[in-house]
Amino acid sequence: MSLDLWNVNNFIEHLIPGSLCAISLTTRSCSYWVTELAKIDSRLSVYFTAVAFLQIAYKSSRHGLSDELMDILATLLGQLNRRRYSNNFTSSLLLDKAAKLMKVVANKSRNTVQLIEIELSKAYLYRVLRCKDSDTNFIYCLANVYLAVLYYTRGQYQMAIDHCTL
């Protein structure tokens, strides 16, 4: 039994990187992979997440961090609600995503995952400011306050002041 499990794990460890190169990763496929691999062995879902992070890093270094890659990152970090979202994000939905990520990193030591979550929160907040309905005072102010808090937590005080001023 353990030899069979070792063979399956060994096969999947080679299958994952090849599959991620061949197919385009989406939030839905990402959730599926993580769920199904965890049924075999929880370490496989961790391995998948690591390989997916590498793929996102590669893609973002070549083409920038797109909205789709941000959503995949958030899915990998386990912070998004697993329901399906449309591509028409409203500013309130983006604010909600940013707030959930901010709660995770509040009052915690800064490891790599928390730093990614902070940067992802900032990216969602900048998306809020680009939304058509972000021109309402409430949403605009709240997004800038959140950004100020995130910059402050990273020690980027001038950026925090700039967002408070806005």
pLDDT per residue as tens digits for the range 9-50: 677 777 787 777 777 888 888 888 888 888 877 777 888 888
pLDDT per residue as tens digits for the range 45-99: 888 888 888 888 888 888 888 888 888 888 887 733 333 344 445 666 677 777 7
Enter the CATH code of domain 91-165: 1.25.40
Q: 106 by DSSP, 3-state: which? A: coil
Which of 132, 105, 131, 119 has its CA nearest to residue 69?
119
Q: So where are the chain's domains?
A: 2-76, 91-165
pLDDT per residue as tens digits for the range 114-127: 778 778 888 888 88
Average predicted confidence (pLDDT) for the chain? 76
3-state helix, strand, coil in the chain (%, to 5): 80, 0, 20
Q: Is the pTM of this model over 0.85?
A: no
